Amino acid sequence: MDLKINGKVAVITAASAGLGKNIAHALAAEGVHVVLFARSADKLTALAQEITAKHGVRAVAVPGDMRVAADVKRLADTVNATFNGTDILVLNTGRAPNPLRATLDETEEERWQEAYQNQLWGTIQVAKEMVPQMLKKQWGRVIAITSASVKQPMPHHSLSTVFRAGVTAYMKHLANEVGSCGITVNCVAPALIDTSHRTGTAAYTPEQAEARRKLTPLGRMGEQDEVCGVVAFLASTQAGFITGSSISVDGGMIGSLL
């Protein structure tokens, strides 16, 4: 299916690795020019070159930290100067602090602050700088990556769930406010996505991964491509009547009817 976003511009945050990197590839494969934002300049530059070589689109690396206002402002200025604004904004973030802990063991303010800054405040900062560019165009797609834990909390995920719920609420308010300007705002809420290929710290220990597989009727972890495809669809022209929604990509883990 032609998603009809060929030639549009997408900003993807937390794009130097994992899901963000794969989402950038998925959008570029649809002919979307991409702006990649994360802290690791080397990784971003290499990814931009890889994307242009593979998909023939423009790819721009903007090194920066979602928590730092000046970096986010520089991102917005670069997108304006290079592309005259963005059409698509994918709000991906770093993970909650490791290791995962039981709620009453989350006693350190530092970890709560880190989770707040990375997942909620960083997301809000980028949204408030980038969405005005879409208002000027009277068209846009905002897609935040949250977690299925927002609908059904997973064990040891309170640091993530608390702030993803905040992101979900922010996105719902935003959807209500910018819908009449042709901008849709949605969340993609993954769970149980395989990150075992990572060379750094894996999201789950082997025991945690095994326990999680049993949480889904499909009996397996999800693939990153299975998240990226949903993001690309929400960015499409055809998804224009979907807004204010949270789409779960969780292998059926959530037990409720809706």
- Reference 56, options 28, 79, 21, 87; nearest CA is 28
Regarding 193 and contact with ligand NAP (CB under 6 A), the answer is: yes
Least separation, in Å, of the C-beta of 40 and ligand NAP?
3
How many C-alpha atoms does 138 have within 13 Å on its Cβ side?
A: 1
Question: In the 8-state DSSP scheme, what is residue 106?
Answer: -
Regarding 40 and contact with ligand NAP (CB under 6 A), the answer is: yes
Out of 61, 203, 215, 231, the residue judged to bind ligand NAP by CB under 6 A: 203
d(CA 13, CA 17): 10
- Reference 171, options 137, 193, 192, 140; nearest CA is 140
* Both tokens assigned to 176: 């209500």
Q: Which residue has its beta carbon closest to ligand NAP?
A: 18
Residue whose tokens read 């000027």: 136
Q: What is the C-alpha radius of gyration for the chain, rounded to an integer number of angstroms?
A: 17
Regarding 166 and contact with ligand NAP (CB under 6 A), the answer is: no
d(CA 216, CA 203): 17
d(CA 182, CA 90): 17
Least separation, in Å, of the C-beta of 173 and ligand NAP?
21
Piece in contact with ligand NAP (CB under 6 A), picked from 59-67, 102-110, 178-186, 228-236: 59-67
Regarding 253 and contact with ligand NAP (CB under 6 A), the answer is: no
Regarding 61 and contact with ligand NAP (CB under 6 A), the answer is: no
Regarding 39 and contact with ligand NAP (CB under 6 A), the answer is: yes
Least separation, in Å, of the C-beta of 190 and ligand NAP?
4
Residue whose CB is less far from ligand NAP, 72 or 178: 72
d(CA 135, CA 108): 40
Regarding 17 and contact with ligand NAP (CB under 6 A), the answer is: yes
Binding site for ligand NAP (CB under 6 A): 14-20, 38-40, 43, 65-67, 92-95, 118, 122, 145, 147, 160, 190-193, 195, 198, 203
